Amino acid sequence: MFALHPFIKYLHVCRGMGIFVENNGNCIIDPGHRRPLLKDPDDDFLLDLAVESQADYIITYNQKDLQPSEIFGIKVVTPKQFLQAMGEIQ
Neighbours of 85 (CB within 10 A): 13
On whether both 88 and 51 belong to a single domain, the answer is yes
Asked if 47 and 87 sit in the same domain, the reply is yes
- Other CB atoms closer than 10 Å to residue 34's CB: what's the count? 20
**41 and 76 co-located in one domain:** yes
Question: 35-66, pLDDT tens digit by residue?
Answer: 567 888 888 888 888 888 889 999 999 999 89
Mean pLDDT value across residues 64-82: 90
Q: Report the alpha-carbon distance of residue 32 to residue 89 in Å, rounded.
A: 37
- For residues 39 and 10, membership in a common domain is answered with no
Which residue segment(s) compose the domain that 68 sits in? 34-90
Domain check: are 9 and 52 in the same one? Answer: no
Report field, pTM of the whole predicted structure over 0.85: no
Question: Could you give the number of structural domains in the chain?
Answer: 2
Q: Where are the alpha helices (DSSP H) in the chain?
A: 6-16, 44-52, 63-66, 79-85
What confidence tens digit (pLDDT) does each residue in 3-28 have?
A: 544 444 444 445 545 555 555 555 55
